Amino acid sequence: MPTQQQFIDFLREIEPSTTTKGVCSSAHGSLRVSLAAHPTYRLIHDNTYLSGSYARDTALRPRTTNGVLRRPDVDIIVVTNHKRTDAPTDVIKGLHRAVKSLGYDNVVSNRRSICVSLTGVEMDVVPIIPNPWQSGGWLIADKSSQEWIPTNPMGHTDWATKINKKANGNFKPLVKLIKWWRRENLPNLRRPKGFILETMVAALMDYRETRFEELFVKLLESIVSEYAWNAMFGTVPSLADPSVDGNNVFSRVQPDEFKRFYEMAEKHAKLIRRAQKEPDSDKAHGIWQQVFGDRFRKSASRAGGLLRDATPVSAAAVAAGGLGLGFPARAVTPPNKPKGFA
């Protein structure tokens, strides 16, 4: 049976490195400062926020595909003074033009954002406006439908912080465990991932449990029991978005995608319970590596010492907030603070 310390060591292993976070922080900070000071776009720009998994401290170390390290993704929200009468295509085009004029070469317009690619990071930059129908909510420009769609990325960040506090600091580590498990075992599955998994964890985790081993297997078992009827009839669950009224986070998940996800959760829940009963510790560890991959090690020791770049971390430190390596949820403050930064 793995120890709590093994899980803490494993969480350090799958955390983005200090170098990765430094590259991301420098890149998004520079872009945000430049955009706020842009000669013309500053008249449209109101504020920016870091969003996505880095803001919520649920990001994983970048994936390696065929020996090539993929660039981490960072999401930047740009609050603008656009109106609902402004065409989404024009909104995206205007942001694209402004960022290109700042000297960024590799900029691509997407459905609801622009993507800025640098050597060490990709940044999705998303323009939004306040939602007049929802207090504290926002609208995002969608080029495909030519509509403004309800969203609330900052609300999601605040929600994740509150859930983590409710779970005594165990929510964010558990999210990282399920996200890593999904990456290892279902690498080509498009959905569910990201915020869908976070919402599922918040809905199904055992808030009284403190051991990561039991938190994880109980989560898989809860997925199996909660969604058994969906799996049986080939349907997709409905799960309310915690920050956008009337939004179902599963809305874009396809039945075949959910079935594959469900079947893997069912298989591995049984596998873990088998590992817990296995008297041979080496065999039990081998089963855990089937679940999490070879980064899940026997102990913190390797070649006579601690993991490289590792420092001892207690369970209490993890519970205090996801190993303490997260990005700030709010906008960074530049040295010379331009208008609109918080």
Is the whole-model pTM more than 0.95? no
26-38 average pLDDT score: 98
Residue 325 has pLDDT above 70, yes or no: no
Domain ranges of the chain: 4-14+157-324, 18-153
In sequence order, the β-bridge partners of residue 48 are 78
Chain mean position to CA 203: 16
Reported confidence tier of residue 65, pLDDT bands at 50, 70, 90: confident
Reported confidence tier of residue 148, pLDDT bands at 50, 70, 90: very high
43-52, 155-164, 223-232, 329-338: lowest mean pLDDT where?
329-338
Token pair 């907030």 is found at: 321
Summarised one tens digit per residue, pLDDT across range 127-139 is 999 999 888 899 9
CATH for 18-153 (3.30.460.10, 3.90.420.10, 3.30.390.10, 3.40.1030.10): 3.30.460.10
Cβ of 280: how many Cβ atoms within 10 Å?
Answer: 8
